[in-house]
Amino acid sequence: MDVLGDFEFHYTWLALGLILAVAEMAIPGVFLIWMAAAALVTGLVAWIVPVGVPLQIVLFAVLSIAAVFTGRRYIARHPVESADPKMNDRGARVVGETVVVTQAIEGGQGRVKLGDSEWLAKGADAPVGTRLRVAGHDGVVLEVAPLS
């Protein structure tokens, strides 16, 4: 007795593949797309070859595992390079800029003005009004050095 009747599961696999692909776009992470591919392949195989649901589930599991590991290996070998690697690193973006001391740098610490904001700074002692160059950063603290 066939409990499922003539229900065609290949439509379910194809729908699951599309749902996973859309979920990958909504929640990017380069993981669900591999499972989406496995579901789509499982749906196509189930459409072409008359296989039972248990075998379809096993096929999906095997394809998912293979696709995820293959995809991870591919991504590791071909990393995506950012067009602007300093995009979210504001401290790195200001290296080389000129700043003005607003609170004297004494004992290696003080404050400097860069643009319209003030930053904590560390470096050689300098009185208020001295122009310095940003040589680096340690988190949100700018490392400053003399202009010359």
**pLDDT tens for residues 50-89?**
888 999 999 999 999 999 999 889 988 988 887 877 777 7
**pLDDT tens for residues 86-100?**
777 777 888 999 999
Residues 6+ apart with CB under 8 A from 35: 20, 64, 67, 68
Question: In angstroms, rounded to a whole number, what is the distance separating the alpha carbons of residues 45 and 53?
Answer: 12
Token pair of 30 as six digits: 């380069």
Please report the pLDDT score of residue 34 as a whole number: 92
Topology classification of domain 90-146: OB fold (Dihydrolipoamide Acetyltransferase, E2P) (2.40.50)
Question: In angstroms, rounded to a whole number, what is the distance separating the alpha carbons of residues 142 and 135?
Answer: 8
Domain spans of the chain, in order of start: 10-77, 90-146
Please report the pLDDT score of residue 29 as a whole number: 78
Residues 6+ apart with CB under 8 A from 53: 4, 9
Question: In angstroms, rounded to a whole number, what is the distance separating the alpha carbons of residues 146 and 101?
Answer: 11
**pLDDT tens for residues 11-40?**
899 999 999 999 999 987 778 999 999 999
pLDDT for residue 6 is more than 70: no
Give the three-class secondary structure for 89.
coil
Query: Which whole number is the average pLDDT over 107-131?
Result: 93
Contact criterion met (CB below 8 Å) for 60 and 46: no
